[in-house]
Structure 1
């Protein structure tokens, strides 16, 4: 059977002059999972190579708010990471924060691009300065559109600035990202509240389109609220906002933070802030078991460091106030707590005025076109939580990007198109030489969970990866796919990264055989195979390669003399390197990774 070209496995082929082929690659699982299409594998590889500044540049190509995503992103890329099959995915979010922090500390962030000289006709109004609104303003301004950004607050960022504690997201890092967006020529009108009901009037004021991105918490509620069983309680949302504004209100020394369904993330922030503000005893309870809490290891470690007690699968029962203390039983965990105050964390939800001239979705949010995000009012688009309900920061950014692209099509007079929120410009090539990435073992990085010495304070930032930890964590990446997408193209690499005209799918150029060293002798099409080579003298026939291969390619078969050995059919191998990284005997060699290593670029422990 003739050897099948990699082109036929990649998903599409276009002939180029000479003997080159343009081959579309399936994106890696992490990149495919990212709502904004960040080239995760590229920046993880650059961190492993000891080049975090270049990694930060790769992140910024697709993400205008890398600091926020490095801290509080829901990390869908980690959920799809092949390393996660054993519960230990690569800590992608922590690596992103490491790269952004190194860039900031070393002051190597590239100067923001100048506003486009050629402006497109028409002005666009973006209402709301949160993640969705900032992303929409960034993409529109970068495309040459005049953008006016309205926000009711005097500080841009939305909940990133007013609802996320500074120890989770340092304000300086957020301000740097916002400044880079404004440098594109975005006009701001801070302190200008635009009601959703009156937003369509902006079209009458000369704006060609309006993007609504006011979020799920358009206004802060009262500090005091009704708690469970009629007990008076404090609002976690209002307290977090006041703490973010510098008002260190402490409701009492003994607090119980009750996280209602959908409010656990807010409850975690309120519990940690209360502990850091001076509360001596803080307990966080939620009706879900701990395994179902929608928080990750970093947040759990933060709760442990701040000394917050956890009561999972527990809800407060009817309480009573005696002698100045509030006695509240906890149903499900047993025991009675003596408290000074209750704090209730409820889910945020967009509040739409009844007179707003928009169609509503069944859950009460704005009804929008599923692709373009245009509302029932032509020319008005809704992005983020206003139309989708509570979402994470990366999902809000993806919605802002989709709305911006729909506005661009409207300004250009183009018809509606499919979702291309991951599309982008051709990235610049990163000047980097080959680095061996054969050390892909080790356990996942775990954040420190021990409480710090002394009293907790509001200002200490959550710990992050050190440089040795970041390099070790990045080298756990399996570099899935036939190309590493790392842009460290070398004479031994068969591929040169490119992007198709629409920017939707990674593509590579397959070079002529004359440009390659030592092609495999069994290459029927005149080009070398990228499948791992089996060194039979080392193979112990353990079968681990067959176990880790997602495509079930390796086979263990006896040789002529009876001894078993692994075999890999190059016609079907995806050349992802999983088997080579897992082989305990080093019997699988990946062409191009180790053939001509560069000692100067190799990262050493």
Structure 2
């Protein structure tokens, strides 16, 4: 069934008001646009692609007016066409809604909208006229003869976004924090980021750049260096904990108590957002310090531990408490926490168990044989705890992800031999960040692609080598990854004294018992709903524990989602609907930001090449390799951002849960 009544989409008019053969935009999943939250029909939807009307009672003028009210709030004011245009159009549509359409000079409005589209400097001015111009061209009577409508008769929700924002799991307003860098105000840039998480400098060093993969600048020259601009904002601002010196430590004694288990990125960010909302939060951590795998699993040359510590200290600045050497399943249980008076619990215990290769007759007790997690923990203790840890001879690392790169690059700093990486697919198929692979090669690490491990060679209880075989990859129709086939007669032995299996990690399920009432999914992770609720009421889980090994930014995003869900649970008794999550789903499933033939009419400006320590300077030490941008470099790189903002607006028949004010001033 086609629920579209009429609309203009990508410049084409669709009118089903008097036809038995309805038409709709090709590829647009209209079934997704039938209702916003369960039982609440979408009446109309407006964005940079145009508009669609799904209910005959919808008032298009009202929808466009609300859409342009958001544009009016978000214009930066730097260019006249947008600054003046949004006010002119919002005022005109406001008159229509009040029944004064005859007072509007529509030719003037159309001219203003066309000038905005053609001459504005950023996405707000360039894209918001699309829906209005489509309406004026194809169905002007919907505006010229519109009936007046009360402002509160329908509910509505608007989101300011961009390709980089939607690609970021935390929906960070990337153009906004870059704008502040352009203006020479890194503290304000950091403040934008602090709305999402406290680990600003840490994320600025190890983020996996989902945003950059979506950056539209790559269609012109290359993506903006968003990650290192974030790092610059943090470094120029100084310790994040100092920004919270104003924080009120005393919380309301009647505030609900929340227990967070695990002080990794997900747990830290969950606690952070709950503390900002006034809850009392205690964090239980098995280790002697906060940070989780970011602390013990990311080497010092990528993430200085002093920086991470200063950022995790923000929790105490806000009144939270850490309880170290407290391990779930050994020192306490989930039920124990409820018995202690906690009203809700978040499990961010991570995937702390490294995996071995799993070969036939494998002996994991061999001297020189490590899994990746244990190896990185030994490295962390050696660097930060002054515990001697040196390697001799050649090292072989099996794996192709970032953990494998961390192991290989760490081993290169600890051994007097050569480090080899064995990966079963091609270099292009490696999940590790490209920059990490490049850096590893600079440090003399040797890669063996399309190679598979066959047997561990040992003598006298010690590793002496790894037998490998060559592979070939056959394309599989309809699949991005080909089928791997071993090439007979290609077996060779890589001689080594140390072997590191960096092929994955998993949750230690022994931390939970049957009495906890928490189920696992088929992958062995904690089973959670979309709102990160577990099978036990009041218990939520996120990060590695719920998804399997993931990235720091994914963990931070899940911590924020969990905090939202816990707040709903403690205030309403149930976990309900999150409008921003739903809008993100519509944008993704509708591929609303997809561009088939992007054209960017700007002069190319090369991406800044970040300065690093030379390969010689990196030998034998764990000093940070990447160097921060200078102020001039950061401003120049920030000026490459094109502010590709888009506004998305939905009008619904019934109230949207949690949308009390009808105003969304944030991009998230």
Structure 1 length-normalised TM: 0.69
Matched position secondary structure for 1:399: helix
2:195 counterpart SS class:
helix
> Does the alignment pair 1:345 with 2:508?
no
- The residue that corresponds to 1:240 in the other structure is 376
Matches within 5 A, 1:549-588: none
1:202 and 2:337 matched: yes
| Structure 2: runs of 5 or more not aligned | 1-50, 52-59, 73-86, 95-127, 129-157, 472-489, 583-600, 648-658
Q: d(CA) in 2 for partners of 1:346 and 1:54? A: 40
Aligned to 2:350: 215
Moved more, 61-70 or 322-331: 322-331
What whole-Å deviation, never above 9, does each CA across 1:135-192 have from its counterpart, x for those lacking one?
1111111111111110111101100111111111111111111111221100111111
1:75 offset after TM fit, Å? 2.2
* Aligned residue in 1 for 2:578: 419
CA 1:10 to 1:415, structure 2 compared with 1: closer, same or farther past 3 Å? farther
CA contact (8 A) 1:422 1:504 kept: no
Contact 1:10-1:26 at 8 Å conserved across structures: no
Partners of 2:215 and 2:334 in 1: CA distance:
41
CA RMSD of superposed structures (Å): 3.7
Structure 1, residues 176-224: CA drift from partner, whole Å, max 9, x if none? 111112211001111111229921331122111111110111x678xx9
**Aligned counterparts of 2:264 and 2:417: Cα–Cα separation in 1:** 33
1:475 to 639, 644, 650: 639
Q: Which residue of 2 aligns with 1:489?
A: none
Is 1:315 matched with 2:452?
yes
Partner of 1:361: 521
Alignment of 1:18-33 (within 5 A): 24=158, 26-33=160-167
> What is the deviation of 1:501?
4.4
Q: Provide the secondary structure at the position in 1 that maps to 2:419.
A: strand
- Asked if 1:370 corresponds to 2:530, the answer is yes
Alpha-carbon distance, 1:329 to partner:
4.5
> How far did 1:30 drift?
1.4
Determine which of 255, 260, 264 is the counterpart of 2:395: 255
Question: What is the deviation of 1:321?
Answer: 5.1
Please tell me whether residue 158 in structure 1 is matched to residue 318 in structure 2. Answer: no
Cα distance change, pair 10–93 in 1 and its aligned pair in 2 (3 A):
farther
Query: Residue 284 of structure 1: SS of its match in structure 2?
Result: strand
Gaps of 5+ in 1: 424-437, 484-498, 508-605
CA distance in 2, matches of 1:267, 1:175: 24
The aligned length equals: 469
**Number of the residue aligned with 2:652:** none
Distance in 2 between residues matched to 1:295 and 1:502, nearest whole Å? 42
Kindly tell me: are residues 360 and 286 of structure 1, through their superposed partners in 2, closer, same or farther at Cα, counting changes over 3 Å? same
Q: Is residue 2:12 matched to residue 1:12?
A: no
1:75-106 deviation per Cα after TM superposition (whole angstroms, max 9, x unaligned): 22112211234682212111111211122289
Contact 2:343 2:570 in 1 (8 A): yes
Tell whether 2:424 aligns with 1:287.
yes
Deviates more, 1:198-207 or 1:167-176: 198-207
Matched, 1:466 2:629: yes
Aligned to 2:438: 301
CA distance in 2, matches of 1:256, 1:446: 31
> How far 1:417 sits from its partner (Å)?
2.0
Q: Which segment is superposed worse, 43-52 or 413-422?
A: 413-422
Deviations 1:54-86 (A, max 9, x none): 222222122221122112222221122112346
Q: Work out the CA distance in 1 between the residues paired with 2:165 and 2:499.
A: 42
**C-alpha distance in 2, partners of 1:167/1:312?**
25
The answer to which structure, 1 or 2, has the higher relative contact order (CA under 8 A, 6+ apart) is: 2
Equivalent residue, structure 2, for 1:73: 207
* In 2, Cα distance between equivalents of 1:113 and 1:412: 23
Partner in structure 2 of residue 578 of structure 1: none
Residue 348 of structure 1 deviates from its aligned partner by: 1.1
1:45 to 162, 179, 189: 179
> Relative to structure 1, is the Cα distance of residues 252 and 147 closer, same or farther in structure 2, using a 3 angstrom cutoff?
same
| Residue in structure 2 matched with residue 273 of structure 1 by the alignment | 410
Counting only pairs closer than 5 Å after superposition, residues 381-530 of structure 1 correspond to structure 2 as 381-419=540-578, 441-447=604-610, 451-453=614-616, 456-467=619-630, 468-481=632-645, 501=661, 504=664, 506=666
Instruction: Verify the 8 A CA contact 2:244 2:318 in the aligned structure 1.
Output: no
Distance between the aligned counterparts of 1:165 and 1:374, measured in 2? 32
SS for the counterpart of 2:505 is: coil
2:464 to 304, 309, 326: 326
Q: 1:421 to 1:204 in 2, by over 3 A?
A: farther
**CA distance in structure 2 between the aligned counterparts of 1:131 and 1:111, rounded to whole angstroms:** 22
User: Could you tell me which of 133, 143, 146 is aligned with 2:277?
Assistant: 143
Cα distance in 1 for partners of 2:61, 2:221 equals 31
- Secondary structure of 1:291's counterpart equals helix
Maintained 8 Å contact 1:276/1:306: no
Change (3 A) 1:9 1:447: farther
Whether contact under 8 Å (2:391, 2:414) holds in the other structure is: no
Query: In the superposition, relative to structure 1, how do residues 330 and 226 fare at CA in structure 2: closer, same or farther (>3 Å)?
Result: closer
Q: Which residue number in structure 2 is paired with residue 99 of structure 1?
A: 233
The more displaced of 142-151 and 461-470 is: 461-470
Distance in 1, matches of 2:187 and 2:218, equals 27
Residue 327 to residue 393, structure 1, CA distance change in 2 (3 Å): closer
Q: TM-score normalized by structure 2?
A: 0.63
Q: SS at 2:499's partner residue?
A: strand
Q: Which residue of 2 aligns with 1:494?
A: none
Q: Deviations over 1:406-448 (max 9, x none)?
A: 211222135432236789xxxxxxxxxxxxxx98632233456
Conserved in 2, the CA contact under 8 Å of 1:120 and 1:145? no
1-structure distance, mates of 2:618, 2:272: 41
Q: Which deviates the most, 455-464 or 326-335?
A: 326-335
Bigger drift between 285-294 and 67-76 goes to 67-76
Tell me, yes or no, if the aligned pair for 2:465 and 2:493 is still in contact at 8 Å: yes
